A and B are shown apart, each in its own frame.
Chain A
Amino acid sequence: MIHFENVTKVYTTQKHPALEDVSIDVGKGEFVFLVGPSGSGKSTFLRLVLKEEKPNKGRVHVAGKDLARLSNWKVPHLRRRIGCVFQDFRLLPNKNVFENVAFALEVIGKPRRFIRKVVPEVVELVGLEGKADRMPDELSGGEQQRVAIARAFVNRPQILLADEPTGNIDPATSIGIMKVLDRINRTGTTVVMATHDAAIVDSMRKRVIELEEGEVVRDQTRGVYGQAY
């Protein structure tokens, strides 16, 4: 599903590469934790998957497509197969829960009937039934993140990327978020989650890829967060 082959990425403003000779293979339906300190290259990895950046060396394949050979105007179609969740939720403050989730379908031109049908289903899937007409500022952080997950998942992407989704959320609420992500993973969606949260990684017992200064230092199935941090 995601295939990195000797990928090196150097940002023009920095001397040290953000990723150096990284080879990673993530299969369909896998759940992968991406761990490592800040600046270790986790976000760069996610940005490369979305083709927000181009690698300096190596190849990136996502959903069977070689991103180097994907023309710019096809990038939006790639992104429709990838859902994204961030630490800061990125909800539209002037739209309610339903509208925020529906927004993702509206802007790719889905018909209204389809939107009316699928949005409530996904809102229920993330555990927000009965809160569809709340505004984001009426929700707790955990609930806002559920809305963001619903928006990322409403188009049934093949891959869900989560960049520290529990970074702004207390540990108790984080467990709920992880349950939602796990539920999404069980539908066959590949989930890649970058995180600093050792407790969550340890409790989930999923594959762990550890990055340090742009290099893969550990790739372990059913792994734990590690001792160093």
Chain B
Amino acid sequence: MRAQFVLSEIWIGLRRNLTMTVAVITTVAISLALFGGGLLINQQVSQMRQYWDERVTLTIYMCTEISNSTTCEENGPATDKQRQDIQSDLESMDQVKSVEYVSAEQAFKDFQDRFANNQAMIDAVRKGDLPDNFRVQLVDPTKYQAVANEMQGRPGIDTIYDDQQVLEQFFGLLDGLTTAALTVSFVQLAAAALLIGNTVRLAAYNRRKETGIMRLVGASNFYIQLPFLLEGAIAGLIGGIIASGFIVAARFLLLTRIQQWFQFDVTLSTGSLLSVIGVSIILGVLLCTVASFLTLRRYLRV
């Protein structure tokens, strides 16, 4: 009896306020999609950071015949003795976790593997163009500068290159995107909350006759307010479901492309995608219910 009565009241309410309901659902969907997108990029960035932190953070390129830096021109190409010294010095440093020597042949092969799907890059680089190098992994990737200072200028070393610094620029861009998406989504969510408040106010006004009689015959506050609260919650739920569609689309279209740029396989797990969707839907439902509740407290008093 109760359930059926409440459900029919909700249906009447949603139908009577169709235009407002559509407006609420749209606003909620857009704001939640932005919110979820922001969360998704955020998670992707932190996963990529982790991925890179675990890998090479410092590359020391050795001098070759064709190197044009001043140290290389003074000292000529690196000798085997210099390589051995550098390797043992690096290995003795506290900040260094591991050192890997990559010969020129290996470097060329790695390059070909990495750009296997990019014929132009492969054609542009010939064997011998790539110098041999040391890939140094640090205990703490942020201590890059100390290690670099130690090695810089030693005979046989051409340049020291920090992968992270280049990545930081890209991560910075993604961070900016995340912040922008989240900021816009919060403004939108605030707008959605106001819109819901207005819709509920209209609904309460439309049904003031019913609610007045309900109050008179002693219906509890909860019983009077429930249909309105559930109306808000349902609008929030539908908005959240639409938003999760957008989020899934963003995951497969946008993030997949970002991963392709990086040429590395850092895929967000289905679990984290589901958690983003879950958070968005719960946020939508909560927001709508709370906004409805606060409005009702003002317009549907005992």
Which A residues are closer than 8 A to B by beta carbons?
A: 50, 72-73, 75-84, 90, 92, 103-104, 106-112, 115, 151-152, 155
**Could you name 13 residue pairs across A and B whose Cβ atoms are closer than 8 Å?**
A50-B216, A76-B218, A78-B218, A90-B213, A92-B209, A92-B210, A103-B213, A103-B214, A103-B217, A107-B5, A107-B214, A109-B223, A151-B213
Partner of A106, one of B1, B216, B220: B1
Q: How far is the CA of A103 from the CA of B219 in the complex (A)?
A: 10
Most buried by A among B2, B5, B218, B220: B218
Please report whether the interface of chain B is mostly helix, strand, loop or mixed according to DSSP.
helix
A210 to chain B, nearest CB (A): 26
**Which B208-231 residues have C-beta < 8 A from chain A?**
209-210, 212-221, 223-224
Residues on B with C-beta less than 8 A from A78 are 218
B217 engages A73 (CB within 8 Å): no
A131 to chain B, nearest CB (A): 20
A72 engages B302 (CB within 8 Å): yes
Partner of B218, one of A72, A80, A92, A112: A80
A90 engages B217 (CB within 8 Å): no
A79 engages B2 (CB within 8 Å): no
| Closest Cβ neighbor of A81 among chain B residues | B218
Residues on A with C-beta less than 8 A from B216 are 50, 79, 84, 90
Partner of B217, one of A75, A111, A115, A155: A155
With A73-B221, A76-B219, A76-B221 already in contact, the answer to whether A112 and B1 are too (CB < 8 A) is yes
| Closest Cβ neighbor of B5 among chain A residues | A106
| Closest Cβ neighbor of B213 among chain A residues | A90
A109 engages B217 (CB within 8 Å): no
B223 engages A107 (CB within 8 Å): yes
Q: How far is the CA of A79 from the CA of B221 in the complex (A)?
A: 12
Residues on A with C-beta less than 8 A from B224 are 107
Among all A-B residue pairs, the 8 with the closest Cβ atoms? A80-B218, A79-B218, A107-B219, A104-B217, A76-B218, A107-B214, A76-B220, A112-B1
A109 engages B2 (CB within 8 Å): yes
Residues on B with C-beta less than 8 A from A73 are 220-221
Supply 8 further A-B pairs (C-beta < 8 A) apart from A92-B209, A108-B219. Answer: A84-B216, A92-B210, A107-B5, A107-B213, A107-B223, A108-B220, A115-B1, A155-B218
Residues on A with C-beta less than 8 A from B213 are 90, 92, 103-104, 107, 151
Q: How far is the CA of A79 from the CA of B223 in the complex (A)?
A: 14
A75 engages B302 (CB within 8 Å): yes
B1 engages A110 (CB within 8 Å): yes
| Closest Cβ neighbor of A79 among chain B residues | B218
Partner of A79, one of B1, B5, B210, B217: B217
B6 to chain A, nearest CB (A): 10
Q: How far is the CA of A54 from the CA of B227 in the complex (A)?
A: 28
Q: How far is the CA of A40 from the CA of B23 in the complex (A)?
A: 48
B217 engages A151 (CB within 8 Å): yes
